[in-house]
Amino acid sequence: MPKMANETLKAALGNSAWHLLHTVLARYPEKPDEQQKATLKQYIHLFAQVYPCGDCARHFQGLLKKHPPQVSSRKTAAVWGCHIHNKVNERLQKPIYDCSNILEDYDCGCGSDEKESDATLGGDSVDHLRQIQVDEKGEKQRGG
């Protein structure tokens, strides 16, 4: 993908892309089957490959190598996505997002589908999300 020269357009693209990714992760099943796990991993890697900004795509692909997608549950995937976004924010010297609110902040308003009755925490406390630590490599989740 080519470099993007217009920083305003680049920022708008980034904001939209992050919004989409976080929303996808917030709608991911709480207890995904193996096919759903494989599909989300593939989606994330393909997203990184086709991202229109070449520099951003290369950086994101590097992050995926260091921090592979964690897709064992909705909460794990959402916190992983927030962690990756915060890695980009650190690099760009932007504020760090509080990941404990990630599921509620990216509720798409789509309602529930037939397989998932609740796309959020369903009123449960989000305090445990602050304890989740994302591994550098692998599919392990601690504290959540």
Instruction: Please give the C-alpha separations between residue 99 and each of 26, 30, 78, 82, 91, in angstroms, as whole numbers.
Output: 12, 17, 8, 6, 17
Domains in the chain: ranges and CATH: 7-107+119-142 (1.20.120.310)
pLDDT at 98: 95
The more confident residue out of 41 and 6 is 41
Rounded Cα–Cα distance for residues 82 and 138 (Å)? 16
Question: Model confidence over 13-28: pLDDT tens digits?
Answer: 999 999 999 999 999 9
* 22 burial type by CB count under 10 A (0-12 exposed, 13-18 middle, 19+ buried): buried
pLDDT band at 130 (very low <50, low <70, confident <90, very high): low
Question: Model confidence over 38-75: pLDDT tens digits?
Answer: 999 999 999 999 999 999 999 999 999 999 999 999 99
Interval 86-113 mean pLDDT: 90
pLDDT at 116: 47
pLDDT at 10: 92
Question: Helix 7-27 to helix 34-50 angle, to the nearest 10 degrees?
Answer: 180
